[in-house]
Amino acid sequence: MKRKVIAALLATVTILSFTGCGKFTCDMCGEEKSGKKYQEELFGETITLCNDCYKGLEDLADMLD
C-alpha cells in the first residue's frame, strides 16, 4: 500500500462506528464474517472491515510510528 493511502486510513480510524452483530462482507479481505464490524469512511466511500483486518490496520499504524 502507498503511504498516502495508509495515512488516509489512519486519519479515518477516529471516526469508526460500531454496528451490531450479523453477517457482513469485509471490504478488505472479501470474506463473509460475523461478529464485530467496523466501518469507516475513505475517500467518500464507506468501507466495512472485519475485526481481523481492523487489527491488522492498527498493527500497521504501530509500525509506522
To which residue does cell 504501530 refer?
Answer: 62
- Cα–Cα distance measured from residue 11 to residue 5, given in angstroms and rounded to the nearest whole number: 10
Binder among 11, 29, 60, 64 for Zn ion (CB under 5 A): 29
Binder among 6, 28, 42, 61 for Zn ion (CB under 5 A): 28
Binding mask 34-63 for Zn ion (x = CB under 5 A): ----------------x--x----------
| 26 lies in the binding site for Zn ion (CB under 5 A) | yes
Non-local (6+) Cβ contacts of 36 within 8 A are 18, 21, 50, 51
CB closer to Zn ion, 9 vs 53: 53
Question: Using only C-alpha atoms, what is the Rg of the chain?
Answer: 12
